[in-house]
Amino acid sequence: MPRYLTMIHIEEQNAPAEANGPEFDERMGALFEEITKAGVMLDTAGLAPTSEGTRVTWSGGKLRYTDGPFTESKEVIGGYSIIQAKDKAEAVEWAKRFLQVHPEHWTVTAEVREIAED
């Protein structure tokens, strides 16, 4: 079965400041339990803020290092998952369900891409 990487894009500067709340945590926990029991979830995690990151760029035969935060970025990757699904449609369905757990006032985007297997 193919594997898919889902990258969760957020607008870090506009992310809701309030805590998620117990209802959100319960809904997310139930979804993660379901996807794990279905044998689909291989790995998932949220990422630390860009202020704790470093970008390494190779250009013109030289390396350049830039410490975060990366203010020029409107969207950043705030988390990821790696799942194993029968096809892209199933992977997108899981991503849709993940997004629908979030409160309506949030803006979260999921990019689903198949992992190239050689």
Domain ranges of the chain: 3-114
Q: What is the pLDDT of residues 14-36, one digit of tens each?
A: 777 666 788 999 999 999 999 99
So what's the pLDDT on residue 17? 67
pLDDT grade for 73, boundaries at 50, 70 and 90: confident
Read off the amino acid at residue 17. A
**β-bridge partners, 59:** 62
pTM: 0.86
Instruction: Quote the tokens at residue 107.
Output: 């803006």
Rounded to a whole number, what is the largest CA-CA distance in the chain?
51
Alpha-carbon gap, residue 95 to 5, rounded angstroms: 10
CA-wise closest residue to 39 among 85, 89, 99: 85
Q: What is the pLDDT of residues 77-115, one digit of tens each?
A: 999 999 999 999 999 999 999 999 998 888 899 999 999
Q: What fold characterizes domain 3-114?
A: Alpha-Beta Plaits (3.30.70)
Q: Judge contact between 35 and 98, C-beta under 8 A.
A: no
φ and ψ at 19, to 5 degrees? -65, 155
Q: Reply yes or no on whether the pLDDT at 66 is more than 70.
A: yes
